[in-house]
Structure 1
Amino acid sequence: MLAATLLALAAAVLHAGWNLWVKQSHDRWIALWGQMTCAGIMCAALLVALGGANNIAWWPLAASSTIHLFYVVLLARAYNLGDFSVTYPIARGTGALVAAIGGILFLSDHLSVLMFIGIGIAVVGILLLAGPADNSHVIAALMVSVTIGAYSVVDSYGSRQMGGNLYPLLLFMGSGITMSTYGLATGRRHDMAIALASTWKRFCVAGIASVATYWMVLIAVQKAPVGYVTALRESSVVIVALVGTRYLGERDMKRRVFAACIVVAGLGVLIAGR
């Protein structure tokens, strides 16, 4: 359990970092596409070096690659609409709740009463951290949260079938393909080519961070319930609250930092309940 906890917390730091980079990008969809494409290429090379994969979980990979496409499109839209310290907490916090419920319904995960209380406290803190927002903010972030919960459950199943080492490699390859296909189909070929030629180094760094984040989480969910791991990973909202208000100059720092402390308290209860 200690290993799963440390992996989830490390993933939270990396996740907040690459999301900050996306938020600061001029074209957020292109940033996400470049990141995922470079991640897919690196994963393909690593998979070849490891000798390929056997017993491939085809349907979870296909389903998750498709869900990730919706996730990226919706995430880019959410970041276009509002503050980093608003959209991110709503999306990630509600996504944790969706993932926890999905784990119980579809993966036979068990969460104790105390763990449910911890998740509830964390979600309350996350919603308080988000604060008042216009409807477009909330709707976009909630739509992102549905995709987060969906791919968390699907990927937990797939990684348990294949093992946590190879599944994420295939997942990023598949996600890169679906996103590139979508970009070409929507007429963004020129933008994609220019961005890849001029920003490939940043894409690669962000891609490495993204792969490392997801790999850590997929290994962690093999050692603990998906709801526990997903909720713990959402400690990244604390980082985002501080970065958004201090570094990006977003408003309501005191309220959002106070709410972040509630999130930490909820995560503490969650861990104690295990």
Structure 2
Amino acid sequence: METPVFLLVITAAALHAGWNALLKIGLDRFLTAALIQIAAGVVALAVLPFVDPPKLAAWPWIGLSALLHIGYNSYLARAYQHGDLGQVYPLARGSSPLLVAGLSVVLLEDRLSAGELLGLLVLVSGIWLMAVRGGRGAARVNGSLLGCALMTALFIAGYTLADATGARRNGDALTYSMWLFAVNALVMTMVVALTRGPRTFLQLGPHWRGGLAGGTMSLAAYSIAIWAMTQAPVALVSALRETSVLFALLIGALVLKEPMPPIRLLACGVIALGVVLLRLL
């Protein structure tokens, strides 16, 4: 992976952690995720007049990604019913790069060197390590939590591969990304209206500033990742994106004054080692 691509993906990871830090805005997690996706779509709509429509070959992948995002948000919300953020997030985000790595070899014919694979495994191990003592009260990872977290990871891997394929076939990552976010917002609006009722949007109104800030960061973060997946192996981009867990911990410690137990410090070190290996090997 070339240095500019590497640095931009790390920047995307920081943006991803930034909008996740905005999740505590007084709504349940599903509605918060919906608000951010809808807000990102509004930002994308403002850009659409300045970009071309996607090529015909890209539209099936945009549609598939939108459907997979519904599954992602659904299982993520279920996972949070069985465990807290410190357990669910590392399990879901840490498992998806391994799924992407295996599937991208078959579906996209991406290849990883032995050094890149080692770096990926070390990085993922560090993310998983956070889940060992990630929950409040050192809660154990139960079967329901694990099942929902792994299903979340599967949907993450699915939409990651769908978007990598769609952007590559489109030949223009920016065009693909903007239309993807616009379609995602439309689909999420329909899902909220059908599952929670039209009056639910009245609950979202007071939180529009936080939603717009989170949506803008979400759009920027994933657009960078989609572009990077047209420049480098998808598995490497997927793994580096998950360093957002590290940035989230730093935000929690430095901004929110959350405690940083030794196991998390160790996990941060393992993740940093994985990043170094990915860059140098």
Same fold by TM (over 0.5)? yes
Structure 2 residue aligned with 1:168: 177
Instruction: Please give the secondary structure, in 2, of the residue aligned with 1:224.
Output: coil
Deviation at 1:272, TM superposition (A): 2.0
Paired with 1:208 and 1:169, the residues of 2 have a C-alpha distance of 12
Deviation at 1:250, TM superposition (A): 6.3
User: 1:103-182 residue pairs with structure 2 within 5 A?
Assistant: 103-131=104-132, 133-135=140-142, 136-162=144-170, 163-182=172-191
- The partner residue of 2:246 within 238, 246, 254 is 238
Residues 212/260 of structure 1: CA separation in 2 closer, same or farther (3 Å cut): same
Paired with 2:182 and 2:34, the residues of 1 have a C-alpha distance of 12
Structure 2 residue aligned with 1:212: 220
Percent of aligned positions that are identical: 31
Paired with 2:82 and 2:247, the residues of 1 have a C-alpha distance of 20
The answer to whether the Cα contact below 8 Å between 2:25 and 2:207 also exists between their aligned partners in 1 is no
Report the AA paired with residue 91 of structure 2. I
For structure 2, the 5+ residue unaligned runs are 134-139
Paired with 1:11 and 1:54, the residues of 2 have a C-alpha distance of 23
Report the AA paired with residue 121 of structure 1. V
Deviation at 1:247, TM superposition (A): 5.9
For structure 1, the 5+ residue unaligned runs are none
Report the AA paired with residue 185 of structure 1. L
Paired with 1:17 and 1:191, the residues of 2 have a C-alpha distance of 25
Structure 2 residue aligned with 1:86: 87
The answer to whether the Cα contact below 8 Å between 1:85 and 1:245 also exists between their aligned partners in 2 is no
Residues 244/142 of structure 1: CA separation in 2 closer, same or farther (3 Å cut): farther
Deviation at 1:193, TM superposition (A): 2.7
The answer to whether the Cα contact below 8 Å between 2:99 and 2:154 also exists between their aligned partners in 1 is yes
User: 1:50-65 residue pairs with structure 2 within 5 A?
Assistant: 50=51, 52-56=52-56, 57-65=58-66
The answer to whether the Cα contact below 8 Å between 1:3 and 1:220 also exists between their aligned partners in 2 is no
Paired with 1:85 and 1:198, the residues of 2 have a C-alpha distance of 27
Structure 2 residue aligned with 1:8: 9
CA RMSD of aligned residues (A): 2.0
Report the AA paired with residue 211 of structure 1. L
Report the AA paired with residue 141 of structure 2. D
Report the AA paired with residue 53 of structure 1. P
Instruction: Please give the secondary structure, in 2, of the residue aligned with 1:166.
Output: helix
Paired with 1:81 and 1:14, the residues of 2 have a C-alpha distance of 27
Structure 2 residue aligned with 1:225: 233
Residues 23/90 of structure 1: CA separation in 2 closer, same or farther (3 Å cut): farther
Report the AA paired with residue 238 of structure 1. L
Report the AA paired with residue 190 of structure 2. T
The answer to whether the Cα contact below 8 Å between 1:71 and 1:144 also exists between their aligned partners in 2 is yes
